[in-house]
Amino acid sequence: MSEKLISKIPEGPLAEKWTKHKAAIKVVSPANKRKLDIIVVGTGLGGASAAATLGELGYNVKIFCISDSPRRAHSIAAQGGINAAKNYQNDNDSVWRLFYDTIKGGDYRAREANVHRLAEVSNGIIDQCVAQGVPFARDYGGQLDNRSFGGAQVSRTFYARGQTGQQLLLGAYASLNRQIAKGSVKSFTRHEMLDLVVVNGKARGIIARNLVTGEIERHGAHAVVLATGGYGNVYFLSTNAMNSNGSAAIQCYRKGAFFGNPCFAQIHPTCIPKHGDQQSKLTLMSESLRNDGRIWVPKKQEDVKRLRAGTLKASHIPESERDYYLERRYPAFGNLVPRDVASRAAKERCDAGYGVNNTGLAVFLDFSSAIQRLGKKVIEQRYGNLFQMYEKITDVNPYEEPMMIYPAIHYTMGGIWVDYNLMTTIPGLYAIGEANFSDHGGNRLGASALMQGLADGYFILPYTIGDYLSADIQTPKIDTGLPEFAEAEKTVREKINRLMNIRGKRTVDSIHKELGNIMWEYVGMARNENGLKIALEEIEKLKNEFWENVYVPGTADEFNQELEKALRLADNFEIARLMTLDAQNRFESCGGHLREEMQTEDGEAKRDDEKFMYVSAWEYKDENTLPELHKEPLKYEFVKVATRNYKD
Amino acid sequence: MKFKIKVWRQKNAKAKGKFVTYDIDNISSDTSFLEMLDILNDKLISEEKEPVAFDHDCREGICGMCSLYINGEAHGPDTLVTTCQLHMRKFTDGQTITVEPWRSAGFPVVKDLIVNRGAFDKILQAGGFISVNTGGAQDANTVPISKKDADESMDAAACVGCGACVATCKNGSAMLFVAARVSSLAKLPQGRIEGAVRAKAMVAKMDELGFGACTNTGACQAECPKGISISHIARLNREFLSAKLHD
């Protein structure tokens, strides 16, 4: 194990670790906070909540986002909800149960201490959001309402219709706005981080491009917080926003931050199926729909054929001819099994020839029995906006015919490796939210991404960063005239010039789509040795094609969206390579990572705890050398590691 | 399907813009409007021409990044959708489609179809928040809030900040945007405390940034992709007047 890979998990009983740690770490006095600068990159739930809180504490914060406003960050698109262990439903929920469900849901590949802390602070998040004016759903007595999500047998998910992410982000953004008005946070919109600046081994700033003018800027700070989300866009077609990207994380990786568990990508079971080659993205249908929707495919091949030919309507197939395969295979959790399990089961049915839609790559999500039981009005209240969205996209009315869904890339559990303090292997560089690897193991449970982003930003980072900065109170403002800044700026300028001068024949998107196809085919829902080998070769070939034959129109000193995309795609090749290498190394099936060689006889994923109960942390060497794998062993002191069972 | 796309081209904020018409063919009716623009851009790039710059991100109608005035309507001919959720099946084969940026004094053009909506951030910075620091909040169920109030607050909070209301208003007023935020917070007990200060500060900022006055034409409500009602403007007016009375 690398000496850099020290998790810093506090000693002691699980439930006391965070409390003891907080008591043990140092704080910075208000007078000294005023002298310290912090850069936060990204304005989603993690970045906005961290920047607002750090501003409230008195630090000087600079926040960067690539959009025209912090509110556009992709957290806004999260639909279903946010988990917390409030036990308002009196269904025997607790911090322990939320912790346990998350560890189990993550297929025993997350740290116990981190996950327990997450569960501990979850309740404070709900209190904070309500205080900010987030209009969560309420029942008739005026109390907060809850719904159920996959991987849990209690109702602990708080929600604001199908727009929970939007409402939580607007809450964090409002707090951020308040600090911007006060002057404690300075906002840089339409700015993209293009490199991390490291001085004497510490993160001391970033190089950013003003996306409107094309100017390259230097920004210095005592610490840098990366809150730039995940890297799912490497697949081109995903539920991520078009501009979401893992580029900033890769820049940090190249500067020495280890990358944790890159192969763990979440494939969400309920997305609207692909319609054709002109498609630019996939749309998610919230997991909350599985509260009332039942998933099925026909039992008989002849029905499948007639459905595909358009001569039979799904609603005309009688109950007895439907295979509710999740209820059949997993009676205890039924339609609410975790995402990885539901996705694999859909793939299994489609591979066996029972898939519907003209492509054969879809299953039904049916609300007819819920409508019969509760009435159309209740269903409309619960999911109205989702049903409307579905109809707008597909031109099919889901109140009358079942929805068609298929799995799609949605979230990445892997990310920059961080210790218990959320600090990366570069001192002074922190990673929070989806950008880090820490809390979800091999599979994230629904409604836990919002919880983690806000936990990191509101309640964890603001404490732990003080411990680091307390040793930096004598350090004056970081001088952006230092040679390290000049060097980083020069590298960025050279890269841009190189891209502008290729003047080849292919568009950025055409190459990105090709990369996406390689990744979905070989590093997607199911992976095997041979496929991964092919993927590595194809990625390398395509990368060369990109650097020889891409065409970036316009100039670098103006608003140039093609240049933005080209810079991100250049980093996507590195992400693709890392994911493939990690998938190759992890010869077990675990969470979102299915190795075809490792399955039980009845098609369930087979973990190998003997060999793979560790976090893989990859260290960058150079473009042409393979990265080095370091291993952080995972120790389970408080839960009994078991095969995940959602059957009984 | 095929179309003639008549689109506004403007190099940067200072340059003079003009309409340019492009032909486009082989478009599936299931293609979204922005995917159609992607295809047009692909074509332009392969002819070594500059692609059309337009704002977009989530492509599922929630981030508020996409805009576009299409055939004289904000977010195009469909109702209750943003441009990214508009599909080509809403147009007829062979149609000429005119595409313009938002036109308003408050939203200067940055390039082609992209405008600067930074004024919206500034209005919210003036008072669109509850002054509460992280930590120390009481238990979330301590103060019950009636379902009706919570639902109304949520109706207003559905605003995505796209700016269609401003673009569609003949006065270039941002009243619906401001009212949505003021109203969403005014419906909640925790938002009442700063209600008067908030309404005054946000309206003053809106006026300062060059947005026009509201003359109750209702165009904003008709074009709002989230169906936000002008009844929120009435609530803003009440909040504002009562604040002024107490001055």
Render pLDDT for A237-277 as a digit per residue (tens, 0 to 9). Answer: 999 999 999 999 999 999 999 999 999 999 999 999 988 88
Q: CATH number of the domain at A268-408, out of 3.40.50.300, 3.90.76.10, 3.90.700.10, 3.40.470.10?
A: 3.90.700.10
- Where residue A645 falls among pLDDT bands split at 50, 70, 90? confident
- The Cα–Cα gap between A517 and A527 comes to 14
Closest-CA residue in chain A for B123? A177
Q: What is the pLDDT, as a whole number, of residue A478?
A: 98
Nearest CA-CA partner of A432 in A57, A11, A75: A75
Residue A428 has pLDDT above 80, yes or no: yes
* Chain A residues touching residue B124 (CB < 8 angstroms): 173-174, 177
Is a pLDDT exceeding 70 seen at residue A571? yes
Chain A touched by B189 (CB under 8 Å): no
Find the range with the poorest average confidence among A26-35, A381-390, B40-49. Answer: A381-390
| Averaged pLDDT for residues A466-484 | 98
A190 tagged catalytic: no
With CB atoms and an 8 Å threshold, state whether A559 touches B139.
Answer: no
Question: Inter-chain contact B38–A509, Cβ cutoff 8 Å?
Answer: yes
Beta-carbon separation of B129 and A174 below 8 A: yes
Token digits of residue A364: 């039904």
Domain A483-612 has CATH 1.20.58.100: yes
Residue A648 confidence (pLDDT) above 80: no
Which percentage of chain A shows pLDDT scores above 90? 91
Share of chain A above pLDDT 70, in %: 100
The class (CATH top level) of B3-110 is: alpha beta
In angstroms, rounded to a whole number, what is the distance separating the alpha carbons of residues B224 and A62? 33
Chain B (125-184) residues lying within 8 Å, Cβ to Cβ, of chain A? 125-126, 128-135, 137-141, 144-147, 150-151, 153-154, 157-158, 160-161, 184
Angstroms from A126 CA to nearest CA on chain B: 6
Q: What is the pLDDT of residue A385?
A: 82
**What are the extents of the domains in chain B?**
3-110, 118-245
Q: What distance in Å separates the CA atoms of residue B52 and residue B96, rounded to the nearest whole number?
A: 17
- Taking CA–CA distances from B185, the nearest residue in chain A reads A133
Report H helices in chain B: 33-46, 118-125, 147-157, 164-168, 175-186, 189-192, 195-208, 219-223, 231-245
| Arithmetic mean of pLDDT, B73-89 | 96
| Confidence at residue A1, expressed as pLDDT on a 0 to 100 scale | 57
Which of chain A's residues have a Cβ under 8 Å away from the Cβ of B34? Answer: 280
Chain A and chain B share a number of CB contacts under 8 A equal to 217
| Predicted local distance difference test score (pLDDT) of residue A604 | 87
pLDDT of the residue at A529: 98
At residue A207, the pLDDT reads 98
State pTM to two decimals: 0.97
Question: Is the CB of B138 less than 8 angstroms away from the CB of A280?
Answer: no
The mean pLDDT of A610-626, rounded to a whole number, is: 96
What count of other Cβ atoms lies within 10 Å of the Cβ of residue B130? Answer: 21
Q: What is the pLDDT averaged over residues A632-637?
A: 96
Instruction: Write down the catalytic residue from A117, A161, A294, A339.
Output: A339
pLDDT of residue A131: 98
* CB contact residues (below 8 A), chain B span 64-123, against chain A: 64-65, 78, 80-81, 85, 87, 89, 110-111, 114, 116-118, 120-121
Answer whether residue B71 shows pLDDT above 90.
yes
β-strand A216-220 against A185-188: which pairing, if any? Answer: unpaired
Neighboring chain B residues of A392 at a CB cutoff of 8 Å: 78, 81, 85, 87
Assign A602 a pLDDT band (cuts: 50, 70, 90): confident
Q: Which residues from A are below 8 Å from B116, CB to CB?
A: 68
d(CA A215, CA A217): 6
CB atoms within 10 A of CB B16: 6
Residues of B in contact with A52 (CB under 8 A): 134
Q: What is the DSSP string of B101-130?
A: ----TTS-EEETTEE--HHHHHHHHTT-S-
**Mean per-residue pLDDT of chain A:** 96
What pLDDT digit, counting tens, does each position of A307-361 carry? 999 999 999 999 999 999 999 999 999 999 999 999 999 999 999 999 999 889 9
Nearest-CB residue to A77 (from B55, B58, B140): B58
Residue range A15-39, pLDDT digits in tens: 999 999 999 999 999 999 999 999 9
pLDDT digit string, tens, across residues B27-43: 999 899 999 999 999 99
- Looking at residue B88, its pLDDT comes to 96
Domain boundaries, chain A: 268-408, 483-612
pLDDT-based confidence at A402, cuts 50/70/90? very high
Distance in angstroms (rounded) separating the CA atoms of residues A632 and B175: 55
DSSP state of B89: G
Pick B150's closest partner by Cβ from A53, A126, A138: A138
| Architecture, CATH, for domain B118-245 | Orthogonal Bundle (1.10)
Determine phi and psi for A236, rounding to 5 degrees.
60, -65
Which among B48, B117, B126 has the least Cβ separation from residue A69? B117
Distance from the first to the final alpha carbon of chain A: 39
Bridge partners, residue A144, by sequence:
A138
